[in-house]
Amino acid sequence: MRIGLAALLDRVRSSLFLVPMLFVVGGAVLGQVSLEVDSALTDRDVQLPFVLQSTVDNARAVLSTVATATITVAGIAFSISLLVIQLASSQYSPRVVHSLFRDPFTKRVMGLVVGTFTYCLVVLRSVRDALDDGGQAVVPNLSVALALLLGVASILATIAFINHSAHSMDVSELLHDVTEESLRAVERGWPTSSGPGALEDPPPVEGHEVRFTANGWIQYVDADALMAVAAPGGVVRLESEVGRYAVAGTPLATVWPVPDPDDRDPLAGRLRAAVHVGQSRTLQQDASYGVRQLVDVALRALSPGVNDPTTAQDAIFHLAAVLHEALERDCPPRAVEGDGGRRLLRPEAPDHGDLVDLALDELRVAARALPTVCVYLLEAIHLLCLSQQVVDRPAVREPLLRQARLVRDGAAAADLLPEDRERVRAAYASRFEGG
């Protein structure tokens, strides 16, 4: 249940439909409520200020104009959003569009515009002149005035939306958003204390293996539900991990002791229900996906077709911010004990070395013929090595030092001028040699 709710919430956050739909419903309700208020004021013969009064023709003109303008703006807003997503995908990385889908400001502006359109339709149908059925003119003055205010608000929101969309294509803004989401993912999945349980050897007997029945990315794992599958004192070993691609027919988990034949199908169903497989990766439990996005932006910037070292520099230092948060924490536990002596083993859970290699392996290879970018990488690694947690834990520091040596050696082996090789070597020596 919990894992299904998490998957639903993630889809809601990424949806461009739900928020505008709620505004449409809200606009219809607000229109009906405002008409009821107008009706009550008319029954009590309350005279509104002159500026709030309208004729039948004026009311229809205002409501029609606002409705026409807002639905036109709605189409423009949706088009701009799709254009921004397309440009970000082609210019930076297809992975970064994930954060653009979650942008709440865009959804609210779209919602306000289509909600105003719906409100105007509801109010417009109630406007009547004396020649219509009923023989009495009906002009909901308060509702028309509110439509005018909503129209002005929609215009201002549209201007703000254009400004927001223009700034959202600034690579620093985009990288900041990805970094913030990645930091939150690290905070959720990487503990601050009480280090990860040491990975244990599974029982020395054959276990019962359960396999995937669907293809897709592993998005969520409910550790408590996995442990609950085992008998008291039993062991469950997860054979894959969040962020990996599940292929139907490959191992999902192994359970000890082996269940009775009659219990195997229900047990397999519970195991599969505890591991949610979807069409794309998410950051909900997968901090390494945030690292992947930042690396992709830097790699795209270093590609011959783009050749933008400054964007690569920006991505490298945002990447260092995410790595710093992870290196300051303990790794996700690879062995967890639950109620009744049940144990969950996660041998594929990432550690500090895995995250450092993911962040730097491809970048240093792409940058070895670019001495300026090599210096950026060495500086980012040097800053991480200054972290107190890294200084105090040699096992965390060593993957960083290894990457720094590889950056130096890669530049030395590249087809560079001697002066450029010396520049990278001097940058390494000043930061890592002698201390």
The residues near 288 (Cβ < 8 Å, ≥ 6 apart) are 243, 350, 354, 355, 358
This prediction has a pTM of 0.81
CB distance 200 to 115 below 8 Å: no
CB distance 400 to 390 below 8 Å: yes
Distance, in Å, from the CA atom of 297 to the CA atom of 170, rounded to the nearest integer, reads: 13
Q: Which of 305, 299, 310, 286 is nearest to 363 (CA)?
A: 299
Give first-to-last CA distance, the chain, whole Å. Answer: 52
pLDDT along the chain (435 residues), means of 10: 63 78 94 89 65 73 91 83 76 71 83 93 83 65 90 91 81 88 90 62 83 93 90 92 94 91 90 91 89 93 88 94 92 87 91 94 94 95 89 88 95 93 94 76
CB distance 183 to 283 below 8 Å: no
Q: Note the pLDDT of residue 1.
A: 47
Q: Note the pLDDT of residue 53.
A: 65
Classify 202 as helix, strand or coil. Answer: coil
Sign of the dihedral defined by the CA atoms of residues 378, 381, 387, 389, in that order: negative
Q: What is the DSSP letter of 339?
A: G
Angle at alpha carbon of residue 389, lines to 388 and 395, rounded to 5° = 130
DSSP characters over 65-98: HHHHHHHHHHHHHHHHHHHHHHHHHHHT-GGGHH
Q: Note the pLDDT of residue 57.
A: 82
Give backbone dihedrals phi and psi of 353, rounded to 5 degrees, phi first: -60, -40
The alpha carbons of the chain give a radius of gyration, in whole angstroms, of 29
Classify 139 as helix, strand or coil. Answer: coil
CB distance 356 to 323 below 8 Å: yes
pLDDT tens digits, one per residue of 193-230:
655 456 667 777 888 999 999 999 999 899 889 999 98
The size of the chain, in residues, is 435
CB atoms under 10 Å from CB of 326, counted, come to 29
CB distance 242 to 218 below 8 Å: yes
Q: How far is CA 65 from CA 35, 80, 116, 127, 381, in A?
A: 19, 22, 12, 15, 59
Q: Note the pLDDT of residue 288.
A: 93
Q: How many helices (H) and strands (E) does the chain have?
A: 16, 8
Residue type, 379: E
